[in-house]
Structure 1
Amino acid sequence: MAAAPRSRSLFLGLLPLLERQAVVLALQTETVGGLILLAAAVVALVWANTPFSGTYEAIRDFHFGIPSLGLDLSVGHCTSDGLLTVFFLVAGIELKRELVVGELRTPATAALPVIAALCGMAIPAALYAATAAAGGGSLGGWAVPMATDIAFALAVLAVISTHLPTALRAFLLTLAVVDDLGAILIIAVFFTSDLNPWALTGAFTGLILFYVLQRQRVRGWWWYLPLGLTTWALMYNGGVHATVAGVAMGLILRTTREEGEKASPGARTEHLLHPFSAGVAVPLFALFAAGVSLSGDALGKVFTSPEPLGVVLGLVIGKILGIFAGTYLAARFTRAQLNPDLAWADVFGLAALAGIGFTVALLIGELAFPTKEVNGHVKAAVLIGSVMAATLAALLLRRRNTVYRRLYEEENLDEDADGIPDIYQQSGPADTGRQDGQAG
């Protein structure tokens, strides 16, 4: 007797209601923040390419702080080492939630987004390395084209007015979360210098104390804020990029709600800091990181020098190849069935959108190329590569917007006005199958 065929799980189907509500809330904040981020990047570019560029550089390079504590930072470094710590703290909370209650909680659901994200990091890095090696350039920037900027990507979706289904947006969000983890590991391992064992010991002691306070269910910002700032300062002086402290604290925060709690500590912290991260911290970083010269010579260097060319190719071509191929092969390997309302062309468009690597790519570019001239060319490459990826994604996704609009309307139809979309109250085998969400 022949064995019964394995059932095929649904990929990019309708998300479970609670997960959908959490994703929609997170994406709303990211979209608004992304629009502010776009505005900040435009201001930086215009400011740096006008006669007032000297003022821009003077403000960016102005130093302040407490030198006796090893905290004499420029405004630019304050945004990259300080404000971006808040961004990575929120990213750490999002990753913890994904690991505990989200798409990464089981190997079956995690397989597709994790494999897609890993391929979406490995292929751009390999493409950069091949380009740099062929042109006799530096291999030090291999990590620059690896990251996806979810806020910038969502801002592009808002600008081009696509009604991308929640499942596709959630898949993009999960890719970005895994990307952020990869980026912070790369920063921690490959971009450390002049390690100070005593400061690092103090930083790890602070993280242990943070963990103990969480385990003992201690509440009150007056405990955590001073401890967080002290841990951040010690990490900065320890020679490890200070943003590592942010993601570590985010991973420590509890993201499950206990009896009697309206929200978990992670959810409360994310609710408080996410608007600041998306609307203030990341845009300010962009304001002082994206101000590069776009003269004819600088633009020419982007396509003639191996390092910036490798960044552009990694973002525009490497991301698409990595994410699409990784997703397709993982789906075949795990026997996942693509949502019949969608097509692999939708995944291809999403992969193009993931080539927008603005914020973290700029940060890693600063760390990989401290020399001002090369750093400027690499930053220009990040900007150009991100714009090219965004343009390509817009063309691909707009072609399918009629399908997306229909799915969007089905997802949000609530004729009985009970606050629950009608699609979640349907019965029958079709609905049961669609409830699987993003399975791997």
Structure 2
Amino acid sequence: MAKKPSRFARVRNIFPTTSRAESLRVGEILRKEAVGGILLVALAAIALVLANSPWSDAYFSLRDFEIGYEPWHLKLSLGAWAADGLLAIFFFLVGLELKREFVSGDLRQFSTAVVPIVAAIGGVIVPAGIYLAIAASSPDAARGWAIPTATDIAFAVAVLALIGSHLPSALRVFLLTLAVVDDLIAIGIIAIFYTETIDLLPLVAALVVIVIYGVIAQRYRDFFHLRPSAAWLILLPIGVIAWAFIHASGIHATIAGVLLGFTIPVLHKRGLRGPDAGPGLAEIFEHRFRPLSTGFAVPIFAFFSAGVALGGAEGIASAFADPIVIGIIVALVVGKPIGITLATWAITRIRRIDLDPSLRWIDITGVGLLAGIGFTVSLLVAELSFAPGSPAYDHAKVAILAASVLAATVASILLGSRNRRYRKMALADEQN
């Protein structure tokens, strides 16, 4: 008679035991994103203070200052350059991370990918439904349904790194995988629902350039006899051209970053594999560009995007009476953890698998609260949803900032208590 698989063996299909290399990679990402998340919050806070200070005119003048080449439709404000240009770097890294997960990570096999994918879908559907239930009375407000569906991986991972020193590694991997899938869904939403008109000629040109970029990325040694560390010298200008064509096509230019990231090879070609082959091009690019993204691109975007004139106590009271604000806050702080926890529970019951023995459902709820930190992508969706300068535009940003801070605070309290519990358990195990 065949031996019934143990509970732990069944669990490994969802939360696989991570190798030492994978654990080191997760730890490195946590450290980098923690620094970037702290810098992001700091610049967002500075922007909010400046926007409500005697220097507000100077701040808004800087944000709205236009620069660029008009005949190519690239004369944009600094705020638009941050949203369309600098965030493309962030989304390029998202593309690299997605490619890595699909090729060699947890999304490689359906059995390990299904739970974070379903959890991410639940974390999109429930917040969107809650927002529409609260704010859909106004057709204009309904355009913001996608604002509370996004997770800010830098901010969320920064909080986890600061308060989760003893949390199980399975929980950290789950958050990272969930956030990556969440980013993929957000990319799809932006491309499908926030592209009003498409100019086919620039789009076709962009796709041709991206194909050329991908071929060179795959065969850069054959074409240019370059070391992997020097390949970016050829690929960077081609990537900028692809970005410009995507921007001209009417599709949000950050999508170019994702498409370009998907073309970068994760693994070496067969002849170059082995211990002497060195890291793959995706790993090299991630190492080179992640500091630029977390240390400059995303914080600068936050600086130009988070500055909202609150209008004093009266303005704040008016904002929090707006269904848009209420809908975003409830959807992010309540809807995200409910959607993620319920979706995870449902798929584990359907597939008859249990959580990792080291985890409890309260831990998954804590991750759901962390996912309620919308911030970067939510701010971007808010800018795409409402007309700049309109009350809805400003109120949506106020709601995102308030919800992100509230979600981070509640998650810190919950996961902080869990972290203390896991630390005590670790000390007890050491003593025994």
CA drift at 1:5: 6.7
Displacement of 1:106 = 0.5
Between the two proteins, the alignment pairs up a number of residues equal to 412
* Residue in 1 that maps onto 2:401: 383
Please tell me whether residue 231 in structure 1 is matched to residue 247 in structure 2: no
Q: Distance in 2 between matches of 1:205 and 1:139?
A: 36
Q: Secondary structure at the match of 1:163?
A: coil
Alignment-derived partner of residue 280 in structure 2: 264
Unaligned segments of structure 1, at least 5 residues:
414-440
Matches of 1:407 and 1:21, distance apart in 2: 23
CA distance in 1, matches of 2:248, 2:171: 41
Which of 328, 335, 339 aligns to 1:311? It is 328
Pair 1:342 & 2:359 matched: yes
Give the one of 375, 396, 413 matched to 1:395.
Answer: 413
Give the alignment's TM-score, normalised by structure 2: 0.90
Q: Secondary structure at 2:188's aligned position in 1? A: helix
Once the two structures are superposed, the pairs formed by residues 4-403 of structure 1 within 5 Å of their partners are 8-10=10-12, 11-12=14-15, 14-134=17-137, 138-160=141-163, 162-218=165-221, 219=226, 220-257=231-268, 258-259=272-273, 260-294=276-310, 295-372=312-389, 373-403=391-421
Deviation at 1:49, TM superposition (A): 1.2
Name which of structure 1's ranges 259-268 and 57-66 shifts more when overlaid on structure 2.
Answer: 259-268
Cα pair distance change 1:302/1:314, threshold 3 Å: farther
SS of the residue 1:367 aligns to: helix
Identical positions, percent:
43
- Give the aligned residue type for 1:82: G
Instruction: Provide the rounded CA distance (Å) in 1 between the counterparts of 2:263 and 2:427.
Output: 38
Letter of the 1:177 counterpart? V
Distance 2:286 2:16 in 1: 27
Comparing 179-188 with 53-62, greater Cα deviation is found at 179-188
Distance in 2, Cα, partners of 1:97 & 1:146: 23
Q: CA deviation at 1:405?
A: 2.7
Judge conservation of contact 2:170–2:356 (CA < 8 Å) in 1: no
- For residue 95 of structure 2, give the secondary structure of its aligned residue in structure 1: helix
Cα deviation for residue 131 of structure 1 reads 1.0
Distance 2:17 2:172 in 1: 12
Alignment partners' CA distance in 2, 1:137 and 1:198: 31
Task: Give 3-state SS (helix, strand or coil) of 1:308's partner.
Answer: helix
SS in 2 for 1:50: coil
Q: Which runs of 5+ in 2 are unaligned?
A: none
Whole-angstrom distance in 1 between the partners of 2:322 and 2:399 = 10
SS in 2 for 1:384: helix
Compute the displacement of 1:318 (Å): 0.8
Q: Take 1:374 and 1:409, find their aligned partners in 2: how far apart are those partners? A: 51
Per mean C-alpha deviation after superposition, the further-off stretch among 293-302 and 90-99 is 293-302
What letter corresponds to residue 412 of structure 2 in structure 1? Answer: A
CA contact (8 A) 1:48 1:56 kept: yes
How far off is 1:22 after superposition? 1.5
Aligned-residue Cα RMSD (Å) equals 2.2
Counterpart CA distance in 1 for 2:64 and 2:23 is 43
Distance in 2 between the 1:120 and 1:63 partners?
Answer: 37
The aligned amino acid for 2:262 is L
Distance of aligned partners of 1:243 and 1:408 in 2 relative to their CA distance in 1, 3 Å threshold: farther
Deviation at 1:397, TM superposition (A): 1.1
Q: Which amino acid aligns with 1:245?
A: A
Give 1:355 deviation, angstroms.
0.3
The residue type equivalent to 2:70 in the other structure is P
Change (3 A) 1:409 1:95: farther
For residues 120 and 198 of structure 1, the distance between their equivalents in structure 2, rounded to whole angstroms, comes to 36
Task: Give the Å deviation of 1:72.
Answer: 0.3
Provide TM-score, normalisation by structure 1: 0.88
